[in-house]
Amino acid sequence: MTEARLPHRLKTLPPYPFAEIDRSRGEAIKKGVDVVDLGVGDPDLPPPPQVVERLREAAGHPENHRYPSYLGSASFREAAARYMGRRFGLEPDPGTEVLALIGSKEGIAHLALALLDPGDLVLVPDPAYPVYSISARFVGAEVATMPLQRERGFLPVLEEIPSELARRAKLMWLNYPNNPTGAVAPLGYWREVGAFAAEHDLLVASDAAYAEIYREGEPPASALQVGALAERTIELHSLSKTYNMTGWRVGFAVGAAWMVGALGTVKTNVDSGIFGAVQEAAIAALDGPTEVVVAQRETYRRRRELLVPALAAAGLDVVDTTATFYVLAAVPEGRTAADYTRELLDSFGVLCTPATAFGPGGEGYVRFSLTASDERVEEAARRLAERSARP
Ligand SMILES: Cc1ncc(COP(=O)(O)O)c(C=O)c1O
Assign domain 3-46+291-389 one CATH number from 2.30.30.240, 3.40.50.460, 3.30.300.20, 3.90.1150.10. Answer: 3.90.1150.10
What is the per-residue pLDDT for 14?
Answer: 80
Strand partners, 124: 145
Ligand 1 centroid – CA 202 distance (Å): 23
Q: What is the pLDDT of residues 75-86, one digit of tens each?
A: 999 999 999 999
Q: Is the beta carbon of 359 within 6 A of some atom in ligand 1?
A: no
Query: Across the chain, what does the average pLDDT equal?
Result: 95
**Residue 389: pLDDT above 80?**
no
Topology match between the domains 3-46+291-389 and 49-286: no
pLDDT band at 19 (very low <50, low <70, confident <90, very high): confident
Q: What is the pLDDT of residues 251-262, one digit of tens each?
A: 999 999 999 999
pLDDT band at 4 (very low <50, low <70, confident <90, very high): confident
Least confident of 24-28, 76-80, 238-242, 305-309: 24-28
**Residue 201: pLDDT above 60?**
yes
Domain map (residue ranges) of the chain? 3-46+291-389, 49-286
Cβ 207 vs Cβ 174: under 8 Å:
yes
Q: What is the pLDDT of residues 263-315, one digit of tens each?
A: 999 999 999 999 999 999 999 999 999 999 999 999 999 999 999 999 999 99
pTM: 0.96
Percentage of the chain with pLDDT > 70?
A: 98
* Higher per-residue confidence, 390 vs 56: 56
What is the per-residue pLDDT for 16?
Answer: 73
* DSSP codes, 209-276: TTTT-B-TT-PPP-GGGSGGGTTTEEEEEESTTTTT-GGG--EEEEE-HHHHHHHHHHHHHH-----H
Cα–Cα dist 114/120, whole Å: 12
Cβ 285 vs Cβ 357: under 8 Å:
no
**Residue 387: pLDDT above 80?**
no
Q: Is the beta carbon of 379 within 6 A of some atom in ligand 1?
A: no
What is the per-residue pLDDT for 388?
Answer: 67
CATH architecture of 49-286: 3-Layer(aba) Sandwich (3.40)
What is the per-residue pLDDT for 390?
Answer: 57
Ligand 1 atom at minimum distance from 246 CA: 10
Asked if omega into 156 is within 30° of 0 (cis), the reply is: no
Calculate the alpha carbon distances from 47 to 52, 54, 194 in Å: 7, 11, 35
Ligand 1 centroid – CA 31 distance (Å): 31
